[in-house]
Chain A
Amino acid sequence: MSRRKSNILLPFNSTATKTVNQSTENATLLRSKKTPSERRQTLAEFLEPDLDENNLEELDNLKQKLWNIYRVSDLYNFDNTKPDTFPRYGRILSRYLVSSFTQAVTLQAKFLLKPDIQGFESEDPPVRITVEDVQLSKPSLVYEGILFSGPEGGGSKIDGAVHLPLLLARGHSVVRDKVHECLSAVFSSVIHEFSFPAEEMHWMIAAWSGYINESKNSKEVGFLYGIPSRKDTIYCQYPVNFIKNLWNCIHEKDNLNVQSSEVKRFHTSLVIHTQNTLGLNLDAVPLLMYKTPDFELYAEGKVRLKTPEFMPRILHFIADLCENRTN
């Protein structure tokens, strides 16, 4: 899948940056070519990811959990080539957490290399971080996070740094914040919550409509809309087959290239249909959540993965989104 969104090219993107060393004493300027911000993607290629059977166990670990999505900048001094350094990182994180909390807590952190499940074949494989409370006789997991790699060639990483732009994390928000604070402090990085722009939600919903399947328990897809300045929400359900058929009417089934005009037409049709049948103009309210038998997407930056088939596809797409901003 190659899906590049134009952005202003940054100095740390060596592929696009021209360095100009000014002759004046201290001025080292990194010149970058400006790209008009109004330019938008018009075409994206959604490849069908290969599902490696060896990774089914890894995929199962991701299943049915509500993950918070974070964008991570390059991790400096993070040596993932020597897994024997991981116990040290674990100790550092454990001590950092213990000293961060005013209450006496007993937390044990672990770092573990994981196989690539996204199909990027990146030189930086995913890393799983867990934090367990070992105070009680049976340790309980208080934090789980997986750092995923970005698309190959998506951007150049900083020399000596590890490029894992996507972090899926879950656990108590206080612990989550502390873990991320520690990772940022130790590896000179920055970890921010990532939320889906409305435009990206539309892309994902439309482009994956052709692949969703009914399950035993669920035969509908649901759209949850928020009402501005009120706590009320509107939840609209449609049969899976209705959505699939609608998409198939707009987009050629075997064509992997999805055009923005198709995405727009899909959503407009859905909105018009709802307006005609229910009298609701869904175009005027923000989409908060999209739920299918295969996955759930939350605009605030959360995802729940239900079937292994969709996991590489979704992770690939989200990593690409995070990648766009970090490069």
Chain B
Amino acid sequence: MSESEDENEVDNETGQLKTEEEVVKTMLSQSMVQLKNLIPNSPLKSESALKVGLWILSSHSKKKSSTSIMQRIRWLTAVVQYGIVDSLTDLEKLFNPLIQLIFISQYHASICHLLYMIATPNLYKFQVERITKNANIMGLTNPLVGLMSRLKSLRPDLVPQTIPHQSNAISFPKAPISIRNGFYALSERIKDCYKLPNRITFSIEIERKRATKKMKLDIIPRVQHINLKSSFEIDFRKMVLLSQLQTFDDVLKKITTVALPNHVGSLLNKREYHYVLSLNFTPRMEALLSQWLYLTLFHEFMEKRQNQGREEKTLLLNRIIEFQESTGRKLMVVYDFLAEYLPTWDGLQYGDQIFRLLSGIPFLPSSDLLIFLRILENLLKFSPTSQKMKIIDCCRKLIYNLLLQQFGPADQAKLLFQSSNKTSSLEEKTKIVEGIYVISEIIRFTKRLWNSALTSSINIALILNSLLFHLWLMDVESEFDLPFRTMCQPITVYAALFSPAPVAVSLLCQLLCKFKESGLSQLIAKTTLVELTDFLQESLQDASLLNRYVADTSSCLIYQKAFHGNSLLSRLPPGNIKKLSQLGYLKVAFDLKKHPAFTGIARRWIKSKSIRSDDDSLDVFQEIDNDSDGYIRFLFCCFPAIRDYIQQFHRD
């Protein structure tokens, strides 16, 4: 079919696509066909392509119309060119018989193109000689140059002659215009379908997506199986390659027998392969992975420009995190790299990934852990509030991860501490004492960070997060039955007490109650290893702070005696106290009824009373004085933690 005929058919291109069976049936049953109607709606099976190929060969021998044969040849060539056929294995068998068609000038170009695409290195000398013979008869045509180049690249030993370089566009004709767009659309659709995850069974995710044109994809090598042994030494039938396994279920079934790819780093490529790597984590594998990982990280983050390859670096860090989190194995080499990289880190680039890595640091002596933590402390000094909270949250996660790593889940840890008094071996005792020491050091360090953060910023979010952190910490210490409880520092207590946020005051009350319930009372009743009694004693001494906090909180909120003589607040510089005293109403200013934090609550209370009159002035305090019991009841409803506090510490 000529190009002009093709042009006429372009307009009729849009129509309903046929199924594979219909297309093949039309191809095999009819003589003349319209190519535009032969675009299948789905990829072709290899067998269908083979059927068409066989039809071409048999029709030629039966001397059928050359135009109809030509149509099939061009259609089949386009099918292979656009990747519509699922496999070329069947078509490859037709390589030899198709060679005879290159002698017919009408088919010559298309058949050369088809042979170019289905050629494999398993060529025979006689096949090449036959093609060369054609070159001698017809001359070295452009399609033959293209085909011979391919054969020479596959088997240089069989094609000794010089073949000029030539692009495919020059060598071979384009696909018929009537089917070109349709095939292109179908091939794009096939690619998209291939990317969709299998909905029935958990499918292995696509390796990586190229986010930008410049994004290099080779930071993590591809999974490749390149056989280094002689083919006589290997039984390929028994070999299960990782890349052949399509779903996670398949990987699970073959996980012990699957052949590993050549590059150990390629196993980091997909989350599903992490389990294969973990199962084969021999010292040799670990050493190989460590060396590759260290050099890659060093090159990408420290030798290359910082702003180069951002996506790929993020991808690598994410894969490392996923591997560590999904398998529970720690890649120490990553922390060796971080120890070098962090001093030059700006605290922002790859922040999410680096904080996640730091919160998952393996259990190390506190001096080693502090190498990383001091870098965070330096960053904290110059960071905005949101960054400060990220840094401290990283430490919070680290505390929890270290507890899990060293003592296991909370139930297990509880049993460990309870039985440690009686039956523990020296080794177990050492482990417990070392673990408690390191974790207490990290907690102390995190407290220092809170102190530093609250000193440098009066942001309410910091105060609230500090209170929540200490509440969380008290729960965790109690849950794991640790031999110490961590009291929060004065800066948190007093920042909350005089905060304009009612939630802060409420959380403070909750925290003080929790100190008493889960902290002090449990500590007093606790017996522990002799080696850990120091921790216990120190915590009990710290608990005396609780009395001070409670006294000051009650003085402010209930007794209208803020800044009285015994208060920690009285340690403010005398000049400041004197100035504050001159204000007159200082002592009563933080009473529940007057506290600035509850002004909004008081207004809501007044609104809720719905007794509004003309003289319903804006004097909130007067309204509260008129019905103080009603207001307090309303306040307790809004903040039950304050009521609990009063019940806990002022039962009378």
Contact = CB atoms under 8 A, between A and B. Distances in A.
The answer to whether A and B interact is yes
Interface string B338-379: 011001000000000000000000111000100100000000
Interface stretch (A184-192, A225-233, A255-263): A184-192
A165 B176 CA distance: 53
A135 B364 CA distance: 59
Nearest to A159: B284
Nearest to A158: B287
Contacts, number: 152
A174 interface: no
A74 interface: yes
B610 to A, nearest CB: 62
Contact of B287 (A11, A98, A134, A136): A11
Contacts of A12: 287-288, 290-291, 294, 333
A27 B296 CA distance: 23
A54 interface: no
Interface stretch (B5-13, B46-54, B160-168): B160-168
- The listed residue with most A CB atoms (<10 A of its CB), out of B283, B287, B330, is B287
Nearest to A156: B287
A190 B291 CA distance: 9
Contacts of B218: 181
A44 to B, nearest CB: 22
A181 B521 CA distance: 65
Interface string B383-413: 0000000000000000000000110100000
Given A10-B333, A26-B328, A188-B265, A325 B298 contact: yes
Contacts of A34: 339, 368, 371
A8 B265 CA distance: 22
A27 B329 contact: yes
Contacts of B263: 184-185, 188-189
Interface string B257-268: 000001111000
Interface stretch (A103-111, A113-121, A199-207, A305-313): A103-111
A4 interface: no
Contacts of B299: 190, 192
Interface in B211-231: 218, 221-222, 224, 226, 228, 230
B146 interface: yes
Nearest to B298: A325
Contacts of A209: none
Contacts of A325: 295, 298
B153 interface: yes
A24 B343 CA distance: 31
B398 to A, nearest CB: 15
Contacts of B616: none
B328 A136 contact: no
Nearest to B362: A29
Interface residues of B, number: 59
B230 A88 contact: yes
Interface in A140-180: 158-161
Contacts of A326: 291, 295
B336 A104 contact: no
B446 interface: no
A135 B336 contact: no
Interface in B549-570: none
Interface in B282-338: 283-284, 286-288, 290-292, 294-296, 298-299, 303, 327-330, 332-333, 336
B121 interface: yes
Given A27-B328, A136-B162, A192-B299, A106 B156 contact: yes
A128 interface: no
Give the interface size class of chain A.
35 or more
A326 B298 CA distance: 11
A137 B162 contact: yes
B154 interface: yes
Contacts of B286: 11, 28, 30
Contact of A11 (B332, B343, B368, B371): B332
A286 B311 CA distance: 30
Nearest to B371: A34
Nearest to B404: A24
A195 interface: yes
Contact of A29 (B228, B281, B332, B339): B332
Interface in B187-241: 218, 221-222, 224, 226, 228, 230
A67 B576 CA distance: 73
Contacts of A107: 153
A92 B228 contact: yes
Contacts of A89: 228
A185 B294 CA distance: 17
Contacts of A130: none
Nearest to B368: A34
Contacts of A184: 221, 263
A37 interface: yes
Interface in A15-41: 19, 22-32, 34, 37
Nearest to A139: B156
Nearest to A14: B287
Contacts of A160: 284
B152 interface: yes
Given A88-B228, A185-B263, A105 B284 contact: no
B74 interface: no
B528 interface: no
Contact of B303 (A24, A189, A192): A192
B329 to A, nearest CB: 5
Contacts of B265: 188, 190
A76 B406 CA distance: 35
Contacts of A267: none
B150 interface: yes
A278 B267 CA distance: 58
- The listed residue with most A CB atoms (<10 A of its CB), out of B156, B167, B364, is B156
A142 to B, nearest CB: 13
A92 B165 CA distance: 23
A185 B290 CA distance: 16
B461 to A, nearest CB: 35
22 contacts: A8-B340, A10-B290, A12-B287, A12-B294, A22-B363, A23-B431, A24-B328, A30-B332, A34-B371, A76-B264, A88-B228, A95-B121, A96-B226, A105-B153, A106-B156, A135-B165, A158-B291, A185-B226, A187-B262, A188-B288, A192-B295, A192-B299
Given A19-B283, A31-B364, 20 more contacts: A9-B336, A10-B290, A10-B291, A10-B294, A10-B336, A22-B362, A22-B405, A24-B405, A29-B363, A73-B295, A76-B264, A92-B226, A96-B226, A103-B167, A104-B149, A106-B152, A106-B156, A137-B162, A190-B296, A325-B295
Lowest 9 CB-CB distances: which A-B pairs, in order?
A: A104-B149, A26-B328, A12-B287, A30-B332, A192-B299, A158-B287, A98-B153, A188-B263, A106-B152
Interface of A: 8-12, 19, 22-32, 34, 37, 71, 73-74, 76-77, 79, 85, 88-89, 92, 95-96, 98, 103-108, 134-137, 158-161, 181, 184-190, 192, 195, 325-326
